[in-house]
A = this chain, B = another copy of it.
Amino acid sequence: MTKNRLEAFSDGVLAIIITIMVLELKVPHGEGIEAIVPLWPVFVSYVLSFIYIGIYWNNHHHMLHACNRVTGGILWANLHLLFWLSLIPFTTGWLGENHFGAVPSALYGAVLLMAAIAYYVLQQVIIHSQGADSVLRRAVRGDWKGKLSPLVYIVAMASAFRWTWVSLALYVFIALIWLVPDRRIERVIDAHK
C-alpha cells in the first residue's frame, strides 16, 4: 500500500515534469514556417530532456520493483531525487532559449549530475533498508552506466565553457546508453524467485 502511494506520487511528479517542459515551446505569433524554425533549439532540448525523464521513470520503476518496504528515509531520498528532476524544465528552457550557450550547458549538466547523485543515494538507502540479503544490491552490481554517467556529466560541464558542442554530445551519448533498457534488475529478480 505504502509503496503504491510512493510510486503514484513519483509518477505524478514525473508526468507533470515531462509535460510542463513542453510549455517552454511557446506558441509563436506568425503563421509561416519561418515562425517556428527559430524554435528548433527549444525543441531539441525538449527531446533530450524528455528522454532523460523517461530514463529516470524507467529506472525508478525497476528500482522500486526491487523494494519491498518503504521507510521514512526512502520517502525523503525519493523526494530529493524528484527535487533535482523538477529543475530539468528550467535548465532545459534556458538551454533552448540561448541556443546551447556555455553556462546553460554547464548548468544542464550540473542538474543531471545532482539527479544522478540523488538516484544513487536513493538506491543506497533502499539497499541499506533491505539488509544483508538485498535483492537490489545484487541487481545493481556491476552497474557501469550508473558509475560512468556522473563522470561524463563532470567532463561535459567542464568542456561546456570551451567546446560547448562536446558537452552537448556527451549528454546525448549518456541518454543513448541508457535508452537500452535495463534488464539486469529483472534478471536478478527472476533468478531469485
Residues of chain A touching chain B, judged by Cβ–Cβ distance below 8 Å, are 1-2, 5, 7-9, 11-20, 22-25, 27-33, 35-36, 47, 50, 54, 57-58, 61, 65, 71-73, 75-76, 79, 82-83, 86-87, 89-90, 93-94, 97-98, 101-104, 107, 179, 181-183
Contact between A31 and B104 (Cβ–Cβ < 8 Å)? yes
Distance in angstroms between the alpha carbons of A98 and B27 in the assembled complex: 10
Contact between A98 and B58 (Cβ–Cβ < 8 Å)? no
Report chain B residues within 8 Å CB of A16. 12, 15-16, 19-20
The prevalent SS among residues of A at the interface is: helix
Distance in angstroms between the alpha carbons of A89 and B19 in the assembled complex: 10
Of B1, B12, B20, B54, the contact of A23 (CB 8 Å cutoff) = B20
Contact between A86 and B17 (Cβ–Cβ < 8 Å)? no
Report chain B residues within 8 Å CB of A8. 7-8, 11
Contact between A22 and B103 (Cβ–Cβ < 8 Å)? no
Contact between B86 and A22 (Cβ–Cβ < 8 Å)? yes
A97 to chain B, nearest CB (A): 5
